[in-house]
Amino acid sequence: MRKFSVLMGLMVAVTLAACSPGPHVSERIAAEAAKTGTIDLATLTPFPWDRALVFGPYASTDRICAALPMSFAECAKSYPQGVGEGSYLLTFIRDSHVVHHELHSRRNGEFCSNSCVLDLRPQTARFTVGPLPSAAGRKHFTPAVR
């Protein structure tokens, strides 16, 4: 009976470890920006995608929903307030479906100016990391020159 209990405990532990979420993409971006002078979104996502949209601070629900491949009603339920002042909205799309979305804090790095929208592919989602002149200690991501 003891062996069975130990075996079941191990199976539960392995299952929980396999299912537990890793760091958010935003946290991975911040860690990579702190380590190196570049970030590559395709290598920082643990899921496949073929298009990423980055919505800047102050992006409205209307603007977000016009760009995403879903009905306006479905989109408005997911993003009712648009994007706030302190965040970017990262959305990852595969085969015309949103496979992942999350807020990226501006403290983790700035992608572009207010109300911007970046439309990226895995091959073009590379950025150089530099200081943000207007905010000491924060990073700015500039699209890498190809």
pLDDT at 22: 59
pLDDT at 144: 81
Distance, CA of 78 to CA of 71 (rounded, Å)? 11
pTM above 0.85, yes or no: no
Q: Which portions of the chain are predicted below pLDDT 70?
A: 1-23, 133-137, 145-146
Cα 99 to Cα 2, 22, 30, 49, 139, distances in angstroms: 42, 16, 21, 7, 27
pLDDT at 136: 62
Q: Terminal CA-to-CA distance of the chain, rounded, Å? A: 62
pLDDT at 13: 35
Q: What is the β-pairing status of strands 51-55 and 117-120?
A: antiparallel
pLDDT at 17: 35
pLDDT at 6: 32
Q: What is the β-pairing status of strands 139-143 and 51-55?
A: unpaired
pLDDT at 91: 96
pLDDT at 36: 87
pLDDT at 1: 53
Contact 107, 138 (CB under 8 A): yes
pLDDT at 76: 92
